Chains A and B, each alone.
Chain A
């Protein structure tokens, strides 16, 4: 139940001091107040934003899809922004931290975290809508995780390279020594050639491991494993 009654000026002063995009929505779903961050988010000045239906005001691409405007396209039935505002009006209760994806004109797909709060503005019931654009933060987080993953792969690959190269060198060396013997029977000679060929193959694999620069995976049974060849600097994406 909303008990405090705000004036437009008082509320504007408060929301302008906040770092999130904030709009005050009336019962017709129109924006009646918006803070500076909301203007920046919608790429609009004050006049084009105020009095518009929320989705259109913010630049949602679905708002122009039907002549009736925002809220009437098929995709609007799944709009979490619309749902949150409607729910807050109907039940006079806030909606917290709802995550959704919306496509905006000139901005593309954005990941948003929205919250609503019922308010009393000069005797009228309104909804305070706050929008946090998580898109860049999510992108940075994904990049950070990829970097961390690559670092772990590089450290593991380095250790594996070093540990594998030692026994490979010993096997390679002894095979070379044996291969120089004059009295080798054909079967032994063939076996030595096969061992040396496989050592070269493992050497190439070690080389690829040493030159990993990307994190690429490939399916392996029911899971995924790193694709050493594709992840190596010697291959190109």
Chain B
């Protein structure tokens, strides 16, 4: 079964584009438009590599990251944002994000990060 990733962003166009780009590379893409929707989805399916937009309606990306890390401490989480101050970057590290990407970011970079994320999880599983 193809590995699954989760993309959380409140813009449908972004979700659609990510879905197309990642599925072409063989990933199953789950998407959510809000943090609450993402948490519901994660109750049904364990996903270990995720891209979270920081600016989400309701619970923001940093709070979502903390909530996910509580349930799935081994998950690899990447932050995506169009605007972040240095303080927010520091918050990202504190919340448990593995890396941070500033939009616009090339899909090749995100694909590399995804591969690296799955490799990391695989290494941890073998320990």
Instruction: Name A residues whose Cβ lies closer than 8 Å to a Cβ of B.
Output: 158, 161-174, 176-177, 180, 199, 202-203, 206-207, 210
- The answer to whether A165 touches B107, judged by C-beta atoms less than 8 angstroms apart, is no
Quick one: which of A163, A164, A176 contacts B108, CB cutoff 8 A? A176
Q: How many residues of B contact A (CB 8 A)?
A: 21
- The answer to whether A177 touches B103, judged by C-beta atoms less than 8 angstroms apart, is no
What's the Cα separation between A170 and B19 when bound, in Å? 11
By a CB distance below 8 angstroms, the chain A residues around B82 are 161-166, 169, 206
Quick one: which of A158, A163, A166 contacts B14, CB cutoff 8 A? A166
Q: Is B124 an interface residue (CB 8 A)?
A: no
- Which of B13, B17, B83 is packed against the most chain A CB atoms within 10 Å? B83
Interchain nearest-CB distance for A30 vs B (Å): 61
Interchain nearest-CB distance for A150 vs B (Å): 14
- Which of A173, A177, A199 is packed against the most chain B CB atoms within 10 Å? A173
Q: Is B102 an interface residue (CB 8 A)?
A: yes
How many pairs of A and B residues are in contact by the CB < 8 Å rule? 66
Quick one: which of B81, B84, B102, B104 contacts A171, CB cutoff 8 A? B104
By a CB distance below 8 angstroms, the chain B residues around A202 are 104
Q: Is B90 an interface residue (CB 8 A)?
A: no
- The answer to whether B18 touches A173, judged by C-beta atoms less than 8 angstroms apart, is yes
By a CB distance below 8 angstroms, the chain B residues around A169 are 14, 17, 80, 82, 103-105
Q: Is B113 an interface residue (CB 8 A)?
A: no
Closest chain B residue, CB of each to CB of A154 = B85
Residues 11-22 of chain B: 1 if any A CB is under 8 Å from the residue's CB, otherwise 0?
101100110110
- Per CB-CB distance, the 5 closest pairs between chain A and chain B, nearest first, are A165-B82, A165-B103, A173-B17, A176-B107, A161-B83
Interchain nearest-CB distance for A80 vs B (Å): 48
Interchain nearest-CB distance for B116 vs A (Å): 18
Interchain nearest-CB distance for A172 vs B (Å): 4
- The answer to whether B20 touches A203, judged by C-beta atoms less than 8 angstroms apart, is no
